[in-house]
Amino acid sequence: MCGIVGYIGNQKAVPILMSGLNQLEYRGYDSAGVALFDDGHLDVVKCKGRLRFLEEKLAAKEYNGNIGIGHTRWATHGEPNDVNSHPHLSNTGKIAVVHNGIIENYLQLKEFLMSQGFAFVSDTDTEIIAHLIEYHYAIIGDFVRAVMEACGELDGSYALGVLCDDDKETFVAVRKGSPLIVGLGDGENFIASDIPAILKYTRDIYILEDKEVAILRKDHVAIYDLYGMEVKKDVFHVDWDVEAAEKSGYEHFMMKEMCEEPRVIRDTVGSRIQKGRIDLKGISLTDDYLNGIEKIYIVACGTAYHAGMIGKYLIEKLARIPVETDIASEFRYRDPILSERNLVIIISQSGETIDTLYALREAKEKKAKVLSIVNVVGSSIARESDGVLYTMAGPEIAVASSKAYNAQLSALTLIALDFAAKRKQIPQEEVTRLTSELLKVPDMVEEILKDKENIQRFAAMHYNANSIFYIGRGMDYALSMEGSLKLKEISYIHSESYAGGELKHGTIALIEEGTLVVCCMTQDSLFPKMISNIKEVKARKASIMAITQEKNAAEAEKIADIVITIPNIDPVLAPIAAVTPMQLFAYYMAVLKGCDVDKPRNLAKSVTVE
Ligand code: AGP
């Protein structure tokens, strides 16, 4: 997720661009840049690092231009460095582009453009957009239509700001899948990824819809679709304050990030599934290597560890490779028995967790191959791994992880399916079936998010609880661990997660009248056993919250106090969606208790100390 700002008017563009980018730095901050017309030519100033480095570069010269675009980057393709930062220029330098999103067919387009003589300088997907616009501009001769033609060939998500050196009175913005707004001023107009960037200049905006193109001049804005048909837009008046607007109107970053989960899952899996086949770019594991693996270790901390536990079930079930999961702080000190026939999968949202980083180094010292699943491009763990599969969750601001966990599960599902296919453990048609279901999960999470109020009401009945139990079997047991952690870390309510079959071996002694037990029961084969577990705790007068698939709702409703359903889905894919109700439940419990949801006491977003 990146930040985009654009300006055209009578004021100097640079201060306005930088003010806007400062407001958007929470969206991405590993590099930044601006492009503007100054003294009659197109200038681009950009660099790696936080915005202050760009400010220092810009301070070297007086820029008087009054039309420009700016960008703060959250890297998805290509390490954070000067060359990969935005804006990107086309070959002739006539076209400058800033982009937020993921171009899923960028490799195919890059090959085509290289065959047409275009030379690339960066590792990004964005650079192909600048060249593609130039390609069409050379044929059509019309800047706006060239942008429309190019966008018609892009698969994936994009919010774009585009300048053309041949037309210094105009700039173009396009939206598909990534948010983009147009700010309407008096003799000046703006674009931005998010409202905070322009709120100090105007509260009147157009909210662009997918495949809408905005053509901005100082005193006029026109909106078209990709076919050149004009679109009439209503002006939206923003009455938020800046602080609220940073969260796009959500009360907390955590709610905003949970609501981003459909987009995050779509971005994490979309560009890696082509016609039912999986293409894990960046992971160079040969079929021979995969067939020779003795055991996989999945190593992480906290929420990432819980994702790893789901990964264990997925890889063992689908790829039939033995998997051991380890908490990183344990793994690094237990002198693990490893060799080159072991693959160690490291999972980390931040890519900087010190225990996980040292576990990675331990694995490499013992000659194991290391594959990491990381959210922050170019982070320490990513750099030290043999292969990296990036989750496309964008910056996760809330300390309690939500969207990154869903993305980690999505990435682990892709890995399990890819390994299974390469080891011929499941036929291609089964891979195709599961990948097509996986592509529907974002819509399923959308559905679940519509049921927020139901979960909020149930939380209102239980937020004074002293202790809440989470139970599940199989993958649902691993899922219940994450549900329990979410509740503990943001609401400070004590909670424990138990394997459903383990209750009768002691912990059922803790169940008394009114104890809330959250039951994860998305796995068809284990559903009857979970019903038995519910009856065991119900007999001790416990309250029951069941999370299950729609097809099992009627059965669950006979004995649960509340049933939260997820759309019917193959059990292998269920955890990606089933975690969202538990994240929402923990969120509402914390809000009802008046806790600081985004910054819980005692916690940090990335634990970089031992
Ligand atoms: C997540 O809700 C927690 N805040 C924490 O457990 C976190 O998952 C853990 O510290 C690992 O962080 P990482 O994924 O950045 O390595």
One-letter amino acid at 94 equals K
Cα of 147 vs centre of ligand 1, distance in Å, is: 41
**Predicted confidence (pLDDT) at residue 470 exceeds the cutoff of 90:** yes
pLDDT of residue 583: 98
Res. 480 pLDDT band, cuts 50 70 90 = very high
Sign of CA dihedral 13, 14, 17, 19: negative
Cα of 422 vs centre of ligand 1, distance in Å, is: 31
Q: Is 47 among the residues known to form the active site?
A: no
Closest ligand 1 atom to the C-alpha of 607?
A: 10
**Predicted confidence (pLDDT) at residue 432 exceeds the cutoff of 90:** yes
**Predicted confidence (pLDDT) at residue 275 exceeds the cutoff of 90:** no
What 3-state DSSP class applies to 356? helix
pLDDT of residue 419: 96
Q: Averaged over 253-263, what is the pLDDT? A: 96
Closest ligand 1 atom to the C-alpha of 302?
A: 6
Q: For 383-430, how does the pLDDT look when each residue is reduced to its tens digit (9 = 90+)?
A: 899 999 999 998 888 999 999 999 999 999 999 999 999 999 999 999
Residue with CA closest to ligand 1 atom 16: 348
Ligand 1, residues 350, 401, 597, 609: which to mutate, most atoms within 8 A of Cβ?
401
Res. 84 pLDDT band, cuts 50 70 90 = very high
Q: 2, 259, 301, 519: which is the annotated catalytic residue?
A: 2
**Predicted confidence (pLDDT) at residue 317 exceeds the cutoff of 90:** yes
Ligand 1, residues 349, 385, 497, 582: which to mutate, most atoms within 8 A of Cβ?
349
The number of C-alpha atoms within 13 Å of 23 and in the hemisphere containing its C-beta is 26
Q: Averaged over 71-79, what is the pLDDT? A: 87
CA torsion angle 487 491 496 499 (round to 10)? -10
Closest ligand 1 atom to the C-alpha of 381?
A: 16
pLDDT of residue 244: 63
Cα–Cα dist 361/370, whole Å: 9
In this structure, the residues whose C-beta lies within 6 A of any atom of ligand 1 are: 301-304, 348-350, 353, 356, 399-401, 489, 603, 606-607
Res. 195 pLDDT band, cuts 50 70 90 = confident
Res. 245 pLDDT band, cuts 50 70 90 = low
Ligand 1, residues 258, 347, 353, 356: which to mutate, most atoms within 8 A of Cβ?
353
**Predicted confidence (pLDDT) at residue 241 exceeds the cutoff of 80:** no
Cα–Cα dist 541/153, whole Å: 60
Cα of 82 vs centre of ligand 1, distance in Å, is: 29
Instruction: Work out the widest C-alpha separation in the chain, in whole angstroms.
Output: 80
Cα of 498 vs centre of ligand 1, distance in Å, is: 21
**Predicted confidence (pLDDT) at residue 50 exceeds the cutoff of 80:** yes
Closest ligand 1 atom to the C-alpha of 350?
A: 15
Closest ligand 1 atom to the C-alpha of 486?
A: 2
Res. 285 pLDDT band, cuts 50 70 90 = confident
One-letter amino acid at 48 equals K
Contact 363, 299 (CB under 8 A): yes
Residue with CA closest to ligand 1 atom 3: 400
Cα–Cα dist 394/75, whole Å: 8
Position with higher pLDDT, 460 vs 178: 460
Q: Is 519 among the residues known to form the active site?
A: no
Cα of 189 vs centre of ligand 1, distance in Å, is: 41
Closest ligand 1 atom to the C-alpha of 604?
A: 4
| Of 277, 276, 20, the residue nearest 161 (C-alpha) | 20
Residue with CA closest to ligand 1 atom 7: 302
Cα of 427 vs centre of ligand 1, distance in Å, is: 35
Q: What percent of the chain has pLDDT over 70?
A: 98
Tokens read off for 52: 């202050």
One-letter amino acid at 402 equals S
Mean residue pLDDT of the chain comes to: 94
Cα–Cα dist 57/103, whole Å: 29
Cα of 364 vs centre of ligand 1, distance in Å, is: 22
Ligand 1, residues 258, 303, 384: which to mutate, most atoms within 8 A of Cβ?
303
One-letter amino acid at 394 equals G
